[in-house]
Structure 1
C-alpha cells in the first residue's frame, strides 16, 4: 500500500525553481478564479437564466476538452519554459480585450461566453505544460506533496480571487478585474523569462506535431490502467461540479443573498480545499490513494446533498467546507496516480488527456446540471447530482489507482543501436523490425499470452503496427515484427524503453530455447514504381 513520505507538507518549497513556479502557478490561478467569478456574476446581470450562468463554467473549461491533446503534444515537443510564457501572454491579451469590451458597454451574454472561451484556451495550453514540469523539479517521494501544494495554490487563489474580484466589482466594476488579470499575467510571464531551465537534450530532432498527437493518443489507447484513471476522473468531476457551477444561483436564493454571499460561499469552498491539502500527509499515513478517492467522492456527494437542502447561509457554509476538502483530496489522489503512471517523454500529452477528462466532465456537468436546474429548480438539480454521484461511484470503485502506477518507468536504454550498411532517409522510409524466437511448442500458448503485453508496449511507444507469426512447418518458430514510421521514429523507441520494457524482454527471452539469442533484423522500406 502506497504512502506519501512523512514530514511537513511544505517540504517541496525548499527547491528554488519549484518555489518560483509555485508562486507563478498561484498567480495564474488567482487570475483564473477572478475571471471566472467576475464572469459568472456579470452573467447573472446580463441573463437570469440558470443555464446561461452555468454555461460560463462550461465555456471556461470546454477548450481544455477540445484542445487538450494538441496542447500536450506541443508541450512535449517544444521548450516548455517558452511555451509557458506564451500561454501567459495569451491570457493577458484576452483579459485586456475583456476589459475593453466591458468598459465600452457592449458586453452581451454571447460576447461574455465567447471571451470566456478564449480565456479557457489559455488554461488549456497552460495546464499540461505546468503539470509536466513538476516531476522535473522535486524528488519522486515529494511529488504527492508538490501536487497538494499546487492544490493549495489553486484553492488559495479560489479564496483570495473572488474576494478581490468582489471588492473590485463593488467599488469600480467588473472591467477592472479583467485589467488586473492582464497585469498579473504579464508579471508571471516576466518571472518565467528569468528562469534558465536545464532541459534534456536529445540527439534526435523534435517530434512532428501530428505525429506527436498520434503517439499520445496511441499511448492512451494501449494503456488500460491509464484509461481507468481517465474514467475515474471524468466520473468524479461530472457530478462534483454541480455545486460550484450553480453556486451563484445558490447564493442569490439564500436569504439576503448578494455578491458578498457568493464570495463567502466560494471562499469557504476554497478554504476547505486548502485545509484538505494541509491534512493530506496525515491522511495518506492512514489511507491509500484508492481509499482516499472512494471516501472522498462519497463524502463530496453527501456535501452536495447537504448544500441542496440547506435553508440558510450558516448550514450551506459547512457543506461547502467539506465539499472543498473532499474535492481536493479526491482530485489529488487521481492526479498523483496519473503523474506516476506516465514516462517523461509523453507526460504532457498524458496529463493533457487527464485534463481533457477532468474538464470534459466539468464542462459537461456544468451544462447538464444547469439545464436540469432550468427545467426543475436548483435544489432538485443538486440532489440528483449527489445521488447520481453515489451510484456511479459504485460502478467505478473497482478501477484501482494503486495498480495504475505498478509499472517501473525508470529509463533503461538496454537496446543496442543497429548497424546500417544501406543509405537511410531519416524521416521518409518506414522501418520494420523482425525478431525470431525458437520456442518449446508445449509452451507456445503461454508465449502468445506474454506477447499480448509485448504488443501493447510496442504500440504504446509509437509503433505503427505489430504482428506475431508462427511458422506453419516448424511449430516452435515464432516471428515478432513491428513497423515504425521512419528511422528517426525507430530511434525514438530506443530512447523510450524503461525497466518495465526490459522486464518483459527478459520474460520473452526465457521462452527462447535456441543456442543463440533471438535474431533481430531491421528492414528499410524501398519504394517501387507502380
Structure 2
C-alpha cells in the first residue's frame, strides 16, 4: 500500500487499485488545478465575508444585505445556459482564461474604490454582480474540466474533492477576511481576491489542453442551447435532480442570506464572529468529505440528500431560537457536513448521467436551477424577515425544507453505477446519391420492424424508451405506428430539423443507448434486420431547427 500526505489528511492508495478519496491526486494536472482552486476559493470566501459585512455596515435594511446573495447568484440564473453552450462549443481553456482575467480586474477595481472611500452599499452590490457574471461564465466549464482530468471510476471522489476545496476555503477564508476587516479594511480583502484570480489564471495558462476532434457538423449557439434543454427534458434522472436541487437551495438560501443578520442584529457580534461561524461551516464540510471517503457507499445519494435536508431543518430552527453563539458552533459544523453531502450528491449524479457532448450544458442548467433557488429564496426570506421578523423567516424555512423531503417519492435520485456513456459510433452512414448540405432538411428516418403479436407488449415498453432517446438526442418529433393491414408490421419514425443534426445524432448515441436499441431489435422477427430508410424534404431546401412545444412522452421511466 502506497501512502502520501496532502495538507493535514493522509490518503492511501490500496494495492487492489480501488479508487479512494486520495486517488484523484495521483493525476498531476488534477492536483495542480485543485490547488489553484483552493487558493482562488479562499480569495472568494474572503471577498464574500468582506462584501456582506461592508454592506451590513453601510445599510440598515435586512433585504439589502440578503440581496448580496442574490447579486452573487442571479448572474448564474441569467448566464448559466449560455455559459454551458459556450463550454461545449469552444475551447474550455480559453474561456477559463477570459473569466479569470475579468474577475481579477473587477476585484482590483472594487478594492481600490473601497480604500478610497468611494463605494456605497449599492456599489458593492453592483461589483458583486459583476463578479457573479464572471463566476457564472466560469462555473459550468470549471466543473466539467474535472471529467478531462481523471477517469470515470475516480470522478465521484474528484467531485467530492472539488467540494472539499471550496470548504477548505470556507474554513480559512472567512477567518482571514474577518481579521483583515477588523484590523485594516475590506478593500484589502478585495485586492487579495484579485491576486488569487491571477494565480488561477497562471495555472490554466500553463495547461496544454489537447484539442478534441470534431464529431459531426458543428453546432450553432442557439441550436446548442436547444439541444441542452431537450436533453434534460427527456432525461428523467436529470430532471429529478433538478426538482430536488431547487427545493433544497431555495430553503438553504435563508442560512446563507441571513446568517450575517443573525450575528450582527440578533446576537450583536462583530465581523470576526461571522467569519468564525463560516469557518465552522467549512470545517464541517471538510469533515463530511473525509467521512464519506471512509464510509464508502453505505448511504446512496438519495439517502444522503434526505439526511442533509433534515439537518438543515434543525439548522434553521437553531438560528431562529438559540441566543448563545457558542451553541451555534456545533450547529454550523453539522450544517457544513450536510451541505457538502447534499451538494456533492446532486453534482455527482448529474455528471455521471451525462455524456461528454452535452456535459457543460446540462451542468449549466443544474447550476441555473441551483442559483435560481438561492436567488429567489434570498429575496423571499429576506423580505419575510423585514416584514415579519428574523425568527419567523427562519422557522418558515425549516417548514419548507421539511415538506420538500416528500419530493423523494416522485423524484428519486437514480444510481449511475455501470452506465457506459461513451459514443457507440455503430450507426452506418446511409447510402446517399448526390450531395446533401448539413442545413438541408427536414429529415425523416423510418425503421420498419416485424414483431409477433405475443411480443408486442414488451416491444411497446422498450420502444417507448427508445423514442425518448430519439427526442433527447435531437429529434423534434418521434413515434411508432402499426400497419392496419398487417399489425405485425411496425414502423418507428423520428423527424429531425436538418441533415447536419441527424449526423450529430449518430455521434450522440451512447453504448448505454445501444443496449436499449438491442432490446428493441431482439423482438424483431424475419430473415433481414429492421429496414432503415432516410427521407429528405422534397425539393431539398435549406432549413433550420424551429423550437416546438415540448412533448410529453408516456411509457416506462
Deviates more, 1:432-441 or 1:257-266: 432-441
**Is 1:378 paired with 2:383?**
no
C-alpha contact 1:24 1:188 (8 A) present in aligned 2: yes
Deviates more, 1:439-448 or 1:71-80: 439-448
Which residue matches 1:395?
407
Shift of residue 525 of structure 1? Answer: 2.5
**Is 1:14 paired with 2:17?**
no
C-alpha spacing 1:392/1:119, structure 2 compared with 1 (3 Å): same
The counterpart of 1:146, out of the listed 135, 144, 158, is 158
1:357-396, Cα deviation, whole Å (9 max, x unpaired): 2111111222221111112222222222122211211333
Q: Within 1, Cα distance between the matches of 2:341 and 2:193?
A: 28
Q: Within 1, Cα distance between the matches of 2:266 and 2:295?
A: 34
The counterpart of 1:129, out of the listed 131, 135, 141, is 141
TM-score (norm 2): 0.90
Q: Within 2, Cα distance between the matches of 1:256 and 1:385?
A: 23
Which residue matches 2:39?
27
C-alpha contact 1:225 1:404 (8 A) present in aligned 2: no
After superposition, residues 147-162 of structure 1 pair within 5 angstroms as 147-162=159-174
- Give the number of equivalent residue pairs: 525
**Is 1:472 paired with 2:484?**
yes
Could you say what secondary structure the match of 1:286 adopts? coil
1:27-69, Cα deviation, whole Å (9 max, x unpaired): 3322322222111111112211111111101110111122111
The counterpart of 1:99, out of the listed 111, 117, 133, is 111
The counterpart of 1:412, out of the listed 408, 421, 424, is 424
Deviates more, 1:435-444 or 1:53-62: 435-444
TM-score (norm 1): 0.94
**Is 1:522 paired with 2:534?**
yes
Which residue matches 2:471?
459
C-alpha contact 1:36 1:60 (8 A) present in aligned 2: no
**Is 1:482 paired with 2:499?**
no
Shift of residue 205 of structure 1? Answer: 4.3
Q: Within 2, Cα distance between the matches of 1:485 and 1:182?
A: 46
Which residue matches 1:315?
327
After superposition, residues 87-486 of structure 1 pair within 5 angstroms as 87-253=99-265, 255=267, 257-397=269-409, 399-403=411-415, 407-486=419-498
C-alpha contact 1:337 1:405 (8 A) present in aligned 2: no
User: Which protein is richer in helix relative to its size?
Assistant: 1
Unaligned ranges ≥5, structure 2:
1-16, 542-557
Could you say what secondary structure the match of 2:487 adopts? coil
Could you say what secondary structure the match of 2:394 adopts? helix
C-alpha spacing 1:81/1:133, structure 2 compared with 1 (3 Å): same
Could you say what secondary structure the match of 2:95 adopts? helix
Unaligned ranges ≥5, structure 1:
none
Q: Within 1, Cα distance between the matches of 2:79 and 2:18?
A: 37
Q: Within 2, Cα distance between the matches of 1:361 and 1:208?
A: 29
Shift of residue 345 of structure 1? Answer: 0.9
Which residue matches 2:519?
507
Shift of residue 195 of structure 1? Answer: 0.4
Q: Within 2, Cα distance between the matches of 1:214 and 1:405?
A: 28
Give the CA RMSD over aligned residues: 2.0
C-alpha contact 1:228 1:399 (8 A) present in aligned 2: yes
Shift of residue 330 of structure 1? Answer: 1.4
Q: Within 2, Cα distance between the matches of 1:495 and 1:203?
A: 6
C-alpha spacing 1:429/1:255, structure 2 compared with 1 (3 Å): closer
C-alpha contact 2:216 2:507 (8 A) present in aligned 1: no
Shift of residue 104 of structure 1? Answer: 4.3
C-alpha spacing 1:366/1:28, structure 2 compared with 1 (3 Å): same
